[in-house]
Amino acid sequence: MLTAIPVDPDADTAREWAINELSKREYTEGGESWLESFWRWLTDLFNNVGRMGDGLGVPGVIFFVVLGLGVVALIIWIVVGPLRRSRNASGPDGIFGGDRRDAAALKSDADAAAAVGDWADALLFMYRAIVRSLDERGAVTVHSGLTAHEAAEQGGLALPALAQDIAADADAFDRARYGHALATQQSYLHAAATFAAIPRAAKSRVVTS
């Protein structure tokens, strides 16, 4: 049984994720982790505030304390955001989010979203339609937690003529789904063209095998 992963972490969970992430090797330089350097800087700041307390007065001390806490909150928010997206991406429902409909139904939703200019939903539904269409033709094996790029890799191996197009659509899907970039009409149209090309590519694959 899969263990549930918190997508809205409480304070303790967020702090644990931040510490674990910032303690990785890529954040370490000169034998001291980025996190250790930050906490040393913050400690020095509070110590200096304490020494200046008499001159600053209570309002000044409060200002610097709030400023320091704000920096901590910002760091945790920056770190936890990508962590939440990556954890959601590897969830048990994968790219379909539990949607078990066939390719035709997914394409219908994609076209409906495109008709009202909702390019994000149009792209997401169209890529799901691509993967479902590949699954229906035996070019992709859908399993729990399947990611967009895993599906693109399988589809590209089965239909080499569409490998680059499917990979590009997978990139656009991930960027739109996890907020890295806005979906556009062009990205939707590219995915729609890939979807339309699948039957022809699959037929050629059968003939040449």
pLDDT category, 202, cuts 50, 70, 90?
confident
Percentages of the chain per state (helix, strand, coil), in multiples of 5? 75, 0, 25
pLDDT at 85: 45
pTM of the predicted model as reported, rounded to 2 decimal places = 0.57
> Residue 134: which residues within 8 A CB-CB, separation 6 or more?
140, 151, 154, 155, 158, 159, 166, 198
**Phi/psi at 29 (nearest 5 deg)?**
-150, 130
- The end-to-end CA distance of the chain, in Å, is 40
What is the identity of the amino acid at 106? Answer: L
pLDDT digits (tens, 9 = 90+) for 39-92: 677 677 666 655 655 555 666 666 666 766 776 666 655 554 554 444 444 444
| In the chain, domain spans | 11-89, 95-208
pLDDT digits (tens, 9 = 90+) for 39-52: 677 677 666 655 65
pLDDT digits (tens, 9 = 90+) for 96-132: 888 889 999 999 999 999 999 999 999 999 999 999 9
What is the identity of the amino acid at 107? Answer: K
